[in-house]
C-alpha cells in the first residue's frame, strides 16, 4: 500500500463519517459539523494528490485547498446564522420536527 493510498483511504473514511453524521443526527448544528468534516476530507484528498502527483511545483493542489478552506469558513458562518434564526422562530433545532412548509 503506497502512502497515497493510505491518505486517500483516510479521506474516504472521514468523508463517510461526516456523511453519516449529517444524515443520522437530529440537531441542525451537528449536520453542519458533518458537512465541515466532509469538506476537510476533500481538502486532505487535494493535498495528498498535490504531494504525490506529477507536478507539485505548480502548487495547484495547495492553492485549491486554501481556497476550499476559505469557502468552507464562509459557508459555516452563513449556515450557523441560518440555524440561529431558525431557532429563534421554531424554538428548536431539531430537524425532524421541521417537516412542514408552513411557518
Partner 1 sequence: MSVVFYVLAALTVAGALAAVLLKNTVHCALALTVAFAGLALLFLNLDAQFAGFAQILVYIGAVAILVVFAILLTKGSETPRDGVFSRTWLVGLVIAAGVFAVLSWAVINSVRVLPHETAVPQVTVLQIGNALVGRYVLPLEIVAVLLTAAMIGAVIVAMHEKVGHEKEGQK
Interaction residues for partner 1, span 6-25 (CB under 8 A): 6-10, 12-25
Q: How far is the CB of 101 from partner 1 (least distance, A)?
A: 19
Binds partner 1 (CB under 8 A): choice among 96, 98, 101, 102: 96
Q: Is the dihedral of CA 23, 27, 31, 36 positive or negative?
A: negative
For residues 83 and 16, is the Cβ–Cβ distance under 8 A? no
Quick check: 62 binds partner 1 (CB under 8 A)?
yes
Q: Which of 83/101 has CB closer to partner 1? A: 83
Measured CA to CA in angstroms, residue 94 lies from 27, 45, 83 at distances of: 5, 32, 10
Candidates 78, 98, 101, 103; binder of partner 1 (CB under 8 A) is: 78
Dist. CA 85–CA 101, nearest whole Å: 16
Amino acid at each position: 500500500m503506497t502512502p497515497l493510498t493510505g491518505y486517500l483511504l483516510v479521506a474516504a473514511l472521514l468523508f463517510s463519517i461526516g456523511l453519516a453524521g449529517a444524515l443520522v443526527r437530529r440537531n441542525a448544528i451537528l449536520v453542519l459539523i458533518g458537512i465541515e468534516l466532509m469538506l476537510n476530507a476533500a481538502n486532505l484528498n487535494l493535498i495528498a494528490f498535490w504531494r504525490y502527483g506529477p507536478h507539485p511545483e505548480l502548487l495547484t493542489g495547495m492553492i485549491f485547498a486554501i481556497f476550499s478552506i476559505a469557502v468552507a469558513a464562509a459557508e459555516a458562518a452563513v449556515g450557523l446564522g441560518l440555524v440561529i434564526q431558525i431557532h429563534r422562530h421554531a424554538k428548536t433545532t431539531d430537524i425532524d420536527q421541521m417537516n412542514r412548509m408552513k411557518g
